Structure 1
Amino acid sequence: MTNSVLAIGGHIGDMDLTAGPTLAKLVLEGASATIVALTPGERGHPRMTPADYKVQKIAEGTAFAEAIGADFRVLDHSDGFLPATDDVALELARIIREKQPDTIITHWKHSIHSDHEHTAQVAERARFLAGLPIESDEDFKTLTPYAELAARVAELPRHGVRTFMHAENWEDMEGFTPTRYVPIPDEAFYRWVSAIRHQAFARGETYGFRYIDYYTALMTTRGCLAGYPRACAFHTSPTPEVSKLAGP
């Protein structure tokens, strides 16, 4: 069974929607969960200023995580301009070393949104750096101009992440093929619904897309294919040995 999971999204709300039901399930089973957003997603409202929406998004992400029993972090990169660079990867590697997750969940590597693609790349790089020995001044010089960040990563013990999973997202569907279905029991589903409905964009109040309806219907569809009432689909990279993440 997964004891600790880290869900990494490009924006606040990305992992809440796609991985949220699975995180709620795992927390109910006794696992620890952390949601990390690499940007607040502050440019995603057609009528609010980025500064105002940033405040709202952080409040919504914090409330969602608390409601499902997860921890929450948001990095201060700019929505729409997230770089796939070592400074971002090192920030994330430090969180991986701190949280010691068995499993990482993030975006699929192809998307109509560059922030999502870059998040997938950065998460892979951070996974590598979290398990890499970084111990000497020469190591820090190799990661110049990010020597200070590398030194902060080196303060914490190395950690290898066993399972790396890509969540199903309607914006990230190019080449996405499910390789694992996670059954979502009623208690986890209703905990997720109760939490996600407090995010304005998920209710369709930004650009009108009915996110909650879409992901609820998708869970039913995936459940039909997997033989459960509801399920979430993931692509594992690479496909690991069969684990207990998906339950019996």
Structure 2
Amino acid sequence: MSDTTTPSVLVVSAHAADFVWRAGGAIALSAQRGSAVHVACLSFGERGESQGLWKQEGMTLERVKQTRREQASAAAGVLGASIEFLDLGDYPLRVDETAQDRVVAIMRERQPDVLLTHVANDPYNRDHNLAHETTLLTRMVAQANGHDRSTTPLGAAQVLQFEPHQPEVCGFAPDLLLDITPVFDVKVKAMQAMSGAQGHLLQYYTDLGARRGVQAVRNGAPNTVTHAEAYQRTFPTVGEELR
């Protein structure tokens, strides 16, 4: 970690809007604090997650992809992150060995201290499961000293799973409520950039941020906290005191 106060972040997003709805606050907060934040979109979400676009007359697959690229790029810019698209398909997402090697290369190039991605088991969207498994698999490979000796191995990057759409069905047990109050207006602006394809989610994630904010206060945050995002750590944290 180059700076203990500004850990670098890599987001592995199954689809082109997932990082906005689920982790937009964390991304904006990290960027405003000086962190390097990069988003790797495995898919444009062109088949199953672009309902609003497919309702338009004469829509084509390539037009959907281009629109999603433009929207996600705009949203990432609002949040303060860089972004790239691997275009690995959608419904279903397919990650072969070549794609895995690309993700490993991104990890070794970016050297993130924190990885953000999906939960391990989402029965509603198996693409999310594959994104989670891809993150863990490529993290493991990226850490290996014997892999591609021309690049630097990845350190012990924590993997934070962001909140799925229906957490109680996905076994999601958050152990971090992140205060995103200072940047919630930024997240809303980024969500608005994606609303052309999935406009119904804008109000849902606005409301969810407020509910998690209430829970944060109940768990010890000051009363000034109004919005939060929930995360579940994959690996143990290390500390010098009980808290």
TM class by smaller structure: 0.7 to 0.9
CA contact (8 A) 2:12 2:116 kept: yes
Q: Confirm or deny that 1:55 pairs with 2:45.
A: no
- 1:201 and 1:161 map into 2 onto residues whose CA distance is 38
Q: Confirm or deny that 1:211 pairs with 2:227.
A: no
- 1:5 and 1:242 map into 2 onto residues whose CA distance is 20
1:131 is matched with 143
- 1:195 and 1:60 map into 2 onto residues whose CA distance is 9
- 1:18 and 1:202 map into 2 onto residues whose CA distance is 16
Aligned residue identity for 1:52: R
1:230 is matched with 227
Q: Which runs of 4+ in 1 moved over 6 A?
A: none
Q: Confirm or deny that 1:160 pairs with 2:150.
A: no
- Aligned match of 2:173 in 162, 171, 177? 177
1:101 is matched with 112
- Aligned-residue offset at 1:102: 0.4
Q: Secondary structure of the equivalent of 1:16?
A: helix
2:92 is matched with 81
CA contact (8 A) 1:39 1:82 kept: yes
CA contact (8 A) 1:81 1:115 kept: yes
- 2:17 and 2:107 map into 1 onto residues whose CA distance is 20
Q: Confirm or deny that 1:67 pairs with 2:78.
A: yes
- Aligned match of 1:28 in 29, 32, 47? 32
Aligned residue identity for 2:130: H
2:21 is matched with 17
Question: What TM-score do you get using the length of structure 1 for normalisation?
Answer: 0.82
- Aligned-residue offset at 1:68: 1.5
> Per the alignment, do residues 171 and 38 of structure 1 end up closer, same or farther by CA in structure 2, a change over 3 Å counting?
farther
CA contact (8 A) 1:8 1:105 kept: yes
Q: Secondary structure of the equivalent of 1:176?
A: coil
Deviations 1:139-168 (A, max 9, x none): xxxxxxxxxxxxxx5532111243110000
Aligned residue identity for 1:26: S
- Aligned-residue offset at 1:201: 4.7
- Aligned-residue offset at 1:84: 4.8
- 1:202 and 1:235 map into 2 onto residues whose CA distance is 28
2:125 is matched with 113
Aligned residue identity for 2:175: T
Unmatched tracts of structure 1, length 5 or more:
136-152, 205-209, 244-248
> Per the alignment, do residues 22 and 242 of structure 1 end up closer, same or farther by CA in structure 2, a change over 3 Å counting?
farther
CA contact (8 A) 2:88 2:95 kept: no
Two-structure CA RMSD over aligned residues (Å): 1.9
Q: Secondary structure of the equivalent of 1:217?
A: helix
- Aligned-residue offset at 1:226: 1.3
Aligned residue identity for 1:66: G
Aligned residue identity for 2:77: E
CA contact (8 A) 2:72 2:193 kept: no
Q: Confirm or deny that 1:41 pairs with 2:45.
A: yes
- 1:84 and 1:240 map into 2 onto residues whose CA distance is 29
- Aligned-residue offset at 1:176: 0.6
- 1:218 and 1:177 map into 2 onto residues whose CA distance is 15
Matches within 5 A, 1:180-199: 180-186=176-182, 188-199=183-194
- 1:225 and 1:19 map into 2 onto residues whose CA distance is 17
Deviations 1:28-53 (A, max 9, x none): 11111111110111113333322110
Unmatched tracts of structure 2, length 5 or more:
218-224
> Per the alignment, do residues 88 and 154 of structure 1 end up closer, same or farther by CA in structure 2, a change over 3 Å counting?
farther
- Aligned-residue offset at 1:200: 3.2
- 1:214 and 1:202 map into 2 onto residues whose CA distance is 15
